[in-house]
Amino acid sequence: MTASFEVTCGTPDDAAAVLALERTILEEGGSFATAPDEFHLSEAKLRVLLASLLEQPDGRFLVAREGGRILGVLLVHQEPVRALRHVGRLELFVDPGSRRRGVGDALLAEAVRRAELDPGLCKLSLAVFADNVAALALYRRHGFREEGHRVGEYLMDDGTLRDDLLLWRSVGR
Ligand SMILES: CC(C)(COP(=O)(O)OP(=O)(O)OC[C@H]1O[C@@H](n2cnc3c(N)ncnc32)[C@H](O)[C@@H]1OP(=O)(O)O)[C@@H](O)C(=O)NCCC(=O)NCCS
C-alpha cells in the first residue's frame, strides 16, 4: 500500500501543531519522563528551537504530514559543546491515532539517510524506556544498538522505578 503521508523538513510555523502533538504524547504517558504538568514549553520558545534546528544541515526537524495535518515529528538535537557536536540526539513521536502505519519508520529512515550525508554527525543516540517495546523494535530495525542500561533511572509518580536503555548507531563513516 502506498503511504498517504509525506516526510519533509518542518517549518517554524509548525510550532503550534508540534506542541499540541507533544502534549498529547505526554498525556498519553509511558514514553517520556516529563509529566504533563512539568511541560511548560511555549509556542514562541519552540518556534525559536525549531528555527535553530532548521539552520543546521537538512533533516534536524522532520515531520510526516497528511493533508496538512502533522502525524509525526522527529527532532535531532545537538549539545552546544564542541566535543559533543558530532552526536545527534533523537526525539521521535507519532500521533496515537496514526501509529502502525509506517510513520515512525518513514521518519527514522529519512533522518538516518540525511544524517549519513551530514559531515557534522558521526553518531545518532537516544534514551528509551526499557519497556517501550514499540520504540525499541523500531530503532533496532534501523540499526540502533544498546550502549547502556540504566537501572531505576526514573522514579515515576506511582512510585515505580523504571530502567532505560541508551541506543546508538554510527552515521557517515
Ligand atoms: C515508537 C513510535 C514512534 C512508533 O511509531 P509508528 O509510526 O507507530 O511505527 P511504525 O508504524 O512505523 O512501525 C515500524 C516498526 O516499529 C515496530 N513497532 C511499532 N509499533 C510497535 C508496537 N506497538 N509493538 C511492537 N513493535 C512495534 C515494528 O517493527 C514496526 O514494523 P511493522 O509494523 O512492520 O511490524 C510510536 O509508537 C510513538 O510515537 N510512541 C510514543 C513516543 C515514543 O515512544 N517515542 C520514542 C521514545 S524514544
What residues are paired with 125 via a beta bridge?
89, 168
Element housing 137 (H / E): helix 133-141
Which atom of ligand 1 lies nearest, measured to the CA of 93?
39
pTM: 0.96
- Which domain CATH number covers 76? 3.40.630.30
145 belongs to a structural domain: no
151 belongs to a structural domain: no
Centre of ligand 1 from the C-alpha of residue 101, in Å: 9
Q: What is the pLDDT of residue 62?
A: 97
**Atom 4, ligand 1: residue with shortest CA distance:** 104
Residue 113 has a CB neighbour count (10 Å cut-off) of: 13
Centre of ligand 1 from the C-alpha of residue 106, in Å: 11
165 belongs to a structural domain: no
Q: What is the pLDDT of residue 106?
A: 98
Domain of residue 88: give its range: 6-124
Centre of ligand 1 from the C-alpha of residue 83, in Å: 32
The domain total for the chain is 1
Q: What is the pLDDT of residue 1?
A: 57
132 belongs to a structural domain: no
Which atom of ligand 1 lies nearest, measured to the CA of 138?
16
83 belongs to a structural domain: yes
Q: What is the pLDDT of residue 115?
A: 95
Residue whose CB lies within 8 A of the most ligand 1 atoms, among 39, 91, 138, for a mutation test: 138
Centre of ligand 1 from the C-alpha of residue 34, in Å: 20
107 belongs to a structural domain: yes
Q: Which portions of the chain are predicted below pLDDT 70?
A: 1
136 belongs to a structural domain: no
